[in-house]
Structure 1
C-alpha cells in the first residue's frame, strides 16, 4: 500500500487504535492510583510529624520533616495532574475511535453535532438533500474540534467550489486519508484546549481591534521609572542617607498612576479575558501542524502560513502570548493589589500584551483560517478513509454535465446503485414509477453526491464525472400558516427561485424537482409542469424530474428534445409489494397507489378490476 492510499480496512484501524488507547488508559489508571496513595501517605506523614511535635514526642527540628513531607506532597500533586491530563487525552482517543467504528455502520446517526445552526429553509438545496440535521452529510463528516473548522466544513457543503479548488482539496485529502494518527492528534489537541468546541471568533475580534491603551500611554514611562526610584528611596532610607519618609513620596506617585489608569486597564483586561477562551494553550496544536512533512501543495501552503520565513513559528507566538497572559492572570492572586501598587504590574503586563497584539494581531485570522481548512480537509479525508469503496470524482471545466456509474446514496448503509447520465446542456431525466419505488431517493443520491464532489470529497459511485454545478432542488416544500402561505404558493416561490438561480448560473446548474405543482388541479399541473421544465432546459441546465403524470413523458418525443424517460417498477410476491430500486429506460406501465392503501388496511376497490359474477 502506498503511503498516501486510503486504508483498505478502516474497521481494523479503529479497533486496533482503540485497543491501544484503552490499554494506555488502563495503565495510567494504575499509575494514578499509586500517585493518589503516595499523596495520601505524604499528607498523613506531614500531619503525623506535626502532631508528634506539638505533643512533645519529637523535637522542633522535626518541623523540617513536615516541610519535606508537604514538598513531596506538592511534587506528587504536580505529577498526578500530568497523569490526569494524559488520561484525558487517552479517553479522547478512545472516543474518536469509537466514533470511527460508529461511522462504519449506522451508529453515526447518534452523533449529537448535526449542524442545525447552518440549516436554512430558503437555501437552494441543503434542506432537500439532508446536508444538515439528523441523518445528514454534515453529521456523517463532521469531526472538527473548533467552531471555525465546523463553519469551514459547513461552507464547503453549502456552496460549490471551482475545479481548481476541488482538485486541490482532493489531493490534500488523499494525502491525509491514511494519516489517522495526525488527524486524531489534531482533534485531540484542540479538544484538550477547551471542554466546549473552541470558537476563535472572539479571540480574532480582540486581536484585530484597535489599541486599547493609547489614552494612558503616558503611564508606561512612569511605570518604568517610578518603581526603581521608589526602591532607591527605600534603600537610602534604610542606610540612613535619606529620611525614611521619602519612600512614601514614590509610593504616593505610584498610587496616583494606578488610580488614573485603573479604568482603562480594566477595560482591556476584560476584553482580553472575553476573547482568550483557552487559546493560550493552542501552541501545541499549531506545533503539531508545523512538525508535519506534507507533500501536497495545498497542505504545504497551509503549513507555510504558520511558519513565515524569517519569523518564529506560530506556536512560538502562542507560547509568548501564553506567557504574557499569565502575567495578567496574576490579578486573581490575593496580593495582586499590593504588588500592582509597588511595581505597577498591570501596566507592564498589559502594555506587553498590547505590543504582541500590534505585531501579530493582524495575522491571527489567517492562522485560524489555515487551521480551519486543515480541519475541514481532515473531515473529507476521514470520509475517504472510512468509505474506501467511494471514488474520487473527475472534474471537467465544460458543462453542465453529470455522469455516474453505479451511483448510490452516500447516507444509506446499503444503497442500490444505478447508472445516471446527464452528458450536456438541456439534458434531463423524466423519472416515473410507483410510490416508494426509489424515484426521490435517486434524485437525492444525485444531488448529495454532487454536493460531496464539489466540496472536494469522494462520492458513492464506481465512477463519477461532472462539471462545476449549482445544485437546485424543489422536494420538501412546506406551507406556512404563520406567513399565510399555501402549499401551492410556497411551491411556486420555490420554483421561481430555482428558475432565477438557473438563469443566474448561465445554465451551469443541476435541477432536481420532485412531483412539482401538486397543489393544483390535474390539467393545470400538466400544463404548468411542462412549461417549467421547458423554461429550465432553455437556460441550458440539466437535471431530473419525478412525476406520476404520464402525460409529461411526451416531452421526450418532441423534436430536438434531450429528455430521457426512465422509471422504477415493483411487483407482487406473496401478496406483498417488492421493489428492486433499479432504474430502467422507458415509462412505467404500472401503479400501486390502490395496493398501498389496501395493504395499509384501507378498504378501497379497484374500478378496473373484474367484478365477481
Structure 2
C-alpha cells in the first residue's frame, strides 16, 4: 500500500524543474561575488595609478564606483531570485512530506489553543498533529492569523469563498509563487505592519518646502563659486553650515521616519511581488474580482501606493551611509524631500493601507483552502449552508480530514427538519468521538468558506458549541464536575442569548456518580429539547436512548463492535438504533487488568 495520502506527481515534477533553476542561480551567485570583488579592487588600483591626472582621475574613480554599485545591485537581485527558488523548493518538499502524513514543517497553531473557546479545544483544531497543521499553508504571521480568524469565526459569504478557492485550486504554480514571495521574510519579521507606518505622523514644515528648492540652488552656486575660485574654503564651509542647520533641526523626525521605512522595506518588496503576481493573473470568481479591483483598478489603489512607498524606502536607504547622506542633503535637500514625499503619500494612501494588507494576508488563508482542495479534490465538496435553523442535515460520506485516506471510514448522517438531537451509543474505541469531531471540523470548514471532506454536506448555518474535553483547574480550585457544569452553562447561555447553535456533547456529567449522571443527563437533554436546540451526543448511558420514545425530535444512532473469542474488531460505521454490544470488560481482560 502506498504511503502517499494524496498524489505528489505535480510536486515532484516541479522539484525537478526547480533543481535546474537552483543550479543556474547558484552558479551566477558565485560569478557575481567574483565580479564585485574585482570591481571593488579596481577602484583602489585606478585611484593609485590615475592620481596625478586630477579631475580625470576623479571621473574615472566615480565611474568605477558607479559600476561597482551596479554590480552590487545585480548580485542582490540574483540573491533574491535564488532565495525565491529555494522557497519554492521548500514548499514542494513540504507537500511531499505532507503526503506521507508528516506535517511537522507546518505551524501547528499551538498558541491559539484555548479551552474556553466554543469548540476549537474539543475538536483538536490546534496543536501538534492537529487539523490546523494539516491545513495551514500560510507563510506570514498575519496570514496565519487571518486563517485562524476564518476557522474560529466563519465568514459572512462562505459560498463566495468556496468559489474563489475552486478557482485558485487550478492555479497551483501561481499560488505557490505567491507564497514563495511572501516567505521572503522570517515569520516573526512579518509582524511588522505597513499600516502602522501610516498611523504615525512625520510632519513636513512649510519652510522645508521652500528650502527643498532654495537649498540645492545655494549649494550648487556655492560649489561652483568655490571651484572657480570666486570664494575661499572658509566661505564655502560657512555656506555649508548654514545649509545644514535646518537639516539638523529636523533630524529627529527624519531619523524616526528612516527607521520606520527601514523596518517595512522587505515587507513592501514582498507585497509588491505578490501584487505583481495577482495583476498578471486573470480571475473570474466574484471574490477574486473584487480583490483585483481594490488593488489595481480603484483610485489611489494598492499597486500605486506600494510603488510610491517603495520609492520612499529606497530614498531613505541612501541615508544609511553618512557620507552619502551629507552629500545628498547638501546638494538635493534630501531629508526635506523625504519628509515632504512621505506627507504626500500619507494623504493619498494611509486610509487604504490596512485594507491592502488584509487582502494580501487573506489570500494566504484562501490558498490554504485551495491547497487542501487540490490535495483532496476527489474526497471534498462545496458545502450547502441554509439559513433555516430547522433545516435538514444531510451528510453523505463524511470523513475526518486528519485521518489518512487509506484508513478513513466515511459515514452518512441525517437529521430531518423535525429532528433536533441524535443520541449516539456504542462500545469503547468504536468511533463515536471521531465521528463527532468529523461533524464539528467539517461544520467549521463550511462556515469558514472552505471545502468539506464529504460527498454531500447540507447543514443549517449554525455556530458550533461543544463539550467533549473538560478538565479541572487546581489554580482556580475548580473540580472536574464544576468545570463541566460551567461548560454546559456556557453553551446554554449562548442558546438563551438567541444564538443559532449546533451542540456536540461527548459523555457529559462524567464527574458524578452513575445515578446522578443518568438523571442529570436526561434532564439536561430535555432542557435542550425545550430550547429547540440541535445537536448530537455520544454516551455509554443506554437509558438516555429512551428519550427517543418520548420525543419525536430525538433519534438514536450507534456504533458496533464484533467479538470473536479473543479477537475484537470495529467497522467504525454508524447505524440507526441503540448499541447492544459493550466491550469494557473484554478490553480489561485483554489487557490483563482483570481475571478472565
- Please show how residues 38-57 of structure 1 align to structure 2 within 5 Å: none
Q: Who is 1:610 aligned against? A: none
- Please show how residues 435-584 of structure 1 align to structure 2 within 5 Å: 435-506=428-499, 508-558=500-550, 560-573=551-564, 575-584=566-575
Deviation by residue 1:244-293 (Cα, 9 ceiling, x = unmatched): 76545543332321232222333333344445553245322211111211
| Deviating more after overlay: 242-251 vs 221-230 | 242-251
Q: Who is 2:87 aligned against? A: 92
1:328 and 1:402 map into 2 onto residues whose CA distance is 59
- Please show how residues 37-436 of structure 1 align to structure 2 within 5 Å: 79-108=74-103, 110-162=104-156, 165-192=157-184, 194-196=185-187, 199=190, 202-209=193-200, 211-213=201-203, 216-236=205-225, 247-276=236-265, 278-309=267-298, 311=300, 314-336=302-324, 338-339=326-327, 342-343=330-331, 344-388=333-377, 389-400=379-390, 401-413=392-404, 414-424=407-417, 427-436=420-429
| Closer, same or farther: CA 76–134 of 1 in aligned 2, 3 Å | same
Deviation, 1:436, is 0.9
Q: Is the 8 A contact 1:21 1:94 kept in 2?
A: yes
1:66 and 1:549 map into 2 onto residues whose CA distance is 90
Secondary structure at the aligned position of 1:567 is classed as strand
| Deviating more after overlay: 138-147 vs 174-183 | 138-147
Deviation, 1:191, is 1.5
| Closer, same or farther: CA 263–246 of 1 in aligned 2, 3 Å | same
Secondary structure at the aligned position of 2:573 is classed as coil
| Closer, same or farther: CA 35–359 of 1 in aligned 2, 3 Å | closer
TM-score, L = length of structure 2: 0.88
1:332 and 1:511 map into 2 onto residues whose CA distance is 59
| Closer, same or farther: CA 70–308 of 1 in aligned 2, 3 Å | closer
2:76 and 2:244 map into 1 onto residues whose CA distance is 39
| Deviating more after overlay: 78-87 vs 277-286 | 78-87
Deviation by residue 1:358-387 (Cα, 9 ceiling, x = unmatched): 211111111111212222211111111110
Deviation, 1:514, is 0.5
| Closer, same or farther: CA 223–546 of 1 in aligned 2, 3 Å | same
2:323 and 2:34 map into 1 onto residues whose CA distance is 33
Secondary structure at the aligned position of 2:457 is classed as strand
Q: Is the 8 A contact 1:103 1:386 kept in 2?
A: no
Q: Who is 1:58 aligned against? A: none
| Closer, same or farther: CA 218–39 of 1 in aligned 2, 3 Å | closer
| Closer, same or farther: CA 495–604 of 1 in aligned 2, 3 Å | farther
| Closer, same or farther: CA 245–101 of 1 in aligned 2, 3 Å | closer
RMSD of aligned C-alpha atoms?
A: 3.4
Q: Is the 8 A contact 1:568 1:588 kept in 2?
A: yes
1:469 and 1:47 map into 2 onto residues whose CA distance is 71
Q: Is the 8 A contact 1:325 1:353 kept in 2?
A: no
1:544 and 1:114 map into 2 onto residues whose CA distance is 28
TM-score, L = length of structure 1: 0.86
Secondary structure at the aligned position of 2:319 is classed as helix
Secondary structure at the aligned position of 2:558 is classed as strand
| Deviating more after overlay: 390-399 vs 518-527 | 390-399
Q: Find out whether 1:18 has 2:15 as its counterpart.
A: yes
Deviation, 1:604, is 4.0
Deviation by residue 1:203-258 (Cα, 9 ceiling, x = unmatched): 2122133x3225x4433323432342344345456657678765455433323212
1:366 and 1:339 map into 2 onto residues whose CA distance is 38
| Closer, same or farther: CA 15–565 of 1 in aligned 2, 3 Å | same
| Deviating more after overlay: 518-527 vs 252-261 | 252-261
Q: Is the 8 A contact 2:262 2:316 kept in 1?
A: no
Q: Is the 8 A contact 1:566 1:583 kept in 2?
A: yes
Q: Is the 8 A contact 1:160 1:451 kept in 2?
A: yes
Deviation, 1:491, is 0.4
Q: What residue ranges of structure 2 are gaps of 5+ in the alignment? A: 51-55
Q: What residue ranges of structure 1 are gaps of 5+ in the alignment? A: 1-7, 55-60, 606-613
Deviation by residue 1:39-80 (Cα, 9 ceiling, x = unmatched): 78x589969999x999xxxxxx9xx99999999887766555
| Closer, same or farther: CA 594–315 of 1 in aligned 2, 3 Å | same
Q: Who is 1:611 aligned against? A: none
Q: Who is 2:53 aligned against? A: none
1:134 and 1:220 map into 2 onto residues whose CA distance is 57
Secondary structure at the aligned position of 1:335 is classed as helix
Q: Is the 8 A contact 1:11 1:104 kept in 2?
A: yes
Q: Find out whether 1:589 has 2:580 as its counterpart.
A: yes
Q: Is the 8 A contact 1:269 1:350 kept in 2?
A: no
2:375 and 2:74 map into 1 onto residues whose CA distance is 38
Deviation, 1:100, is 2.1
Q: Is the 8 A contact 1:280 1:319 kept in 2?
A: no
Deviation, 1:357, is 1.9
2:270 and 2:573 map into 1 onto residues whose CA distance is 54
Q: Is the 8 A contact 1:18 1:94 kept in 2?
A: yes
1:370 and 1:469 map into 2 onto residues whose CA distance is 26
| Closer, same or farther: CA 468–347 of 1 in aligned 2, 3 Å | same
Q: Is the 8 A contact 2:43 2:61 kept in 1?
A: yes
What count of residue pairs does the alignment treat as equivalent? 581
| Closer, same or farther: CA 373–528 of 1 in aligned 2, 3 Å | same
| Closer, same or farther: CA 9–571 of 1 in aligned 2, 3 Å | closer
Q: Who is 1:4 aligned against? A: none
Q: Is the 8 A contact 1:191 1:197 kept in 2?
A: no
